[in-house]
Amino acid sequence: MTDVPGGLTEEAWRASLADLYEHGPCGYLFTHIDGVILQANRTLLDWTGLAIDDLAGKRRFQDLLTLPGKIFYENQFFPLLRLQGSIKEVAFDLVREGGEPLPVLVSSMLRNNDAGEPYMVASAIFDASDRRAYEQELLRSRKSAEQLASIVRFSSDAIVGISPTGMIQTWNGAASTMFGYAEQQIVGTSLVDILVPGGNQTDWPGILGKLGEGHSIQLEMVGRGADDVRVDVSAGFTPHLDLLGRVESVSVIMRDIAERREIERIQQEFLAVTVHELRSPLTGIKGNAQLMKRREEYSNRSVDAIISETGRLERFINDLLLASQIQNDRLALAQEELDLVATARGAIDSLGREDAGIRFHSDSSPVMVYADPHRLSQVLVNLLTNAIKYSPKGAGVTVRVGRTGGKACVSVEDQGVGIPADALPHVFDRFFRVGNTSGQVQGLGLGLYISRRIVDAHGGQIEVESQPARGSTFTVKLPLLRHAAGAPGNC
């Protein structure tokens, strides 16, 4: 025994040591080699909620643990203890009397008897609930940091970290895709060099100044990507402050707004075309009416012109209406059994004087389909007017009606300007017009879009083959009515 510290009687000193053993901040436990409890201090008893009489000689230490703990104790902990003689700080959950677990760390030593045989295990048991709580907290924050990192990695927005002076520190995958610079190339350079507010050399110092004061900023900017590609972005700048309130770094989230810009451009163009399409027939109507008034006489020609221009206005407005119905999935069909040969002939006739150069080939027998007569003839009129519109005056147009591959088909072939290969996949898109023709020929870019949606709604297909300066062939295929067998023709 060590010396009694000055000022204490030996008795007081012993009492103080005993008190430390009994009530100290850790549990002490002595068990037999098979785990049966021999002795436990007060702290451990308090943790378990049991009295020593309930434990000593009656319960084993491993029975005070959760089931996985018990299995671990018997299969890993104890064999290792036998092997090494001691084990430090192994995590277990002690089950309290009420069933509540207490996380603990157990350090154990094997004690040998005089013959050198192991006969007892002495353990110190530490309450690890605080440590477990902050370990879990640490794990949680590591997990959320990992989640954040994977959000940044897989985000479709460019997420860039910059220093308070604008130097790029981090650069995610979307930023590489958007600007065409790899992370290694760009980190360490200045964001100012590839991003210009509003497209002008404006106020970067002002922006950095505001960020330095801790303000967030949202701006539309123009970026300069690799190979000088223009990148339109909406950029959000968020400063991050250190503990002293100084800006430590700034995160910049950029979204590509090229699509929005394109929509704005289409809207502008649409407005311009609509105004033009409305104004020119109105001018015709007004002019012819004024002519009759001035001459104070009725003119068949003027009235015909007024009727024709009114028809054009009507078609235009109907197209707009129909396109908007299609866009909202409200295209209603009134289908009936009808003969495609007769429908195609009717569509040609409806063009009046314009049908002059149209040749017509068809099966001798009817080609029966189940279709909405009004909508189907609208498709054919669209194809025919395009064939005439996009061909030199007097060039031939051929219409064929027949059967192909078990389907009914009607094709419209012209010898007009044709469509460039890169534009072909887009001719059925809404508001799409081929650049080189759109300036010269009036149109909205809705006819083929509407036609395709109508044909789709009938369960059919519309296809196009074309060669610039040679001409185009549009073919509509529709399900053939089963009872309408006949000699196969072709389209």
Q: CA 81 → CA 13, 126, 413, distances in Å?
A: 33, 18, 92
Q: Select 316 or 370, whichever has its Cβ closest to ligand ADP.
A: 316
Q: Select 81 or 379, whichever has its Cβ closest to ligand ADP.
A: 379
Q: Select 78 or 449, whichever has its Cβ closest to ligand ADP.
A: 449
Locate 227 and state its tokens: 């190979």
Of 162, 173, 281, nearest to 211 (Cα)?
162
Collapsing DSSP states into helix, strand and coil, what is residue 160?
Answer: strand
d(CA 361, CA 9): 127
Contacts to ligand ADP by CB under 6 A: 382, 386-387, 390, 414, 416-419, 427, 432-434, 437-438, 443-449, 472
Minimum CB separation of residue 227 from ligand ADP in Å reads: 30
Minimum CB separation of residue 242 from ligand ADP in Å reads: 59
Q: How many CB atoms lie within 10 A of CB 46?
A: 13
Q: Select 378 or 386, whichever has its Cβ closest to ligand ADP.
A: 386
d(CA 192, CA 202): 10
Q: How many CB atoms lie within 10 A of CB 231?
A: 20
The H or E element that residue 246 is part of is none
Q: Select 256 or 414, whichever has its Cβ closest to ligand ADP.
A: 414
Q: Select 6 or 392, whichever has its Cβ closest to ligand ADP.
A: 392
Minimum CB separation of residue 473 from ligand ADP in Å reads: 9
- List of residues 6+ apart from 329 with CB closer than 8 A: none
Q: Select 31 or 473, whichever has its Cβ closest to ligand ADP.
A: 473
Contact 168, 187 (CB under 8 A): yes
Q: Select 433 or 477, whichever has its Cβ closest to ligand ADP.
A: 433
Please work out, in degrees rounded to the nearest 5, the angle formed at the alpha carbon of residue 152 by the alpha carbons of 150 and 154.
65
d(CA 273, CA 394): 27
Minimum CB separation of residue 272 from ligand ADP in Å reads: 14
Q: Select 288 or 472, whichever has its Cβ closest to ligand ADP.
A: 472
First and final CA of the chain: distance in angstroms? 113
Minimum CB separation of residue 460 from ligand ADP in Å reads: 18
Locate 179 and state its tokens: 């600007």
Locate 479 and state its tokens: 């399900």
Q: Select 97 or 429, whichever has its Cβ closest to ligand ADP.
A: 429
Q: How many CB atoms lie within 10 A of CB 457?
A: 16
The H or E element that residue 38 is part of is strand 37-40
Contact 234, 254 (CB under 8 A): yes
Minimum CB separation of residue 468 from ligand ADP in Å reads: 9
Minimum CB separation of residue 329 from ligand ADP in Å reads: 20
| Residue of this chain nearest to ligand ADP (CB atom) | 443
Minimum CB separation of residue 297 from ligand ADP in Å reads: 36
Minimum CB separation of residue 437 from ligand ADP in Å reads: 4
- List of residues 6+ apart from 487 with CB closer than 8 A: 363, 364, 365
Minimum CB separation of residue 416 from ligand ADP in Å reads: 5
Minimum CB separation of residue 319 from ligand ADP in Å reads: 8
Of 280, 263, 331, 288, nearest to 443 (Cα)?
280
Of 20, 18, 22, 29, nearest to 105 (Cα)?
29
Q: Select 291 or 424, whichever has its Cβ closest to ligand ADP.
A: 424
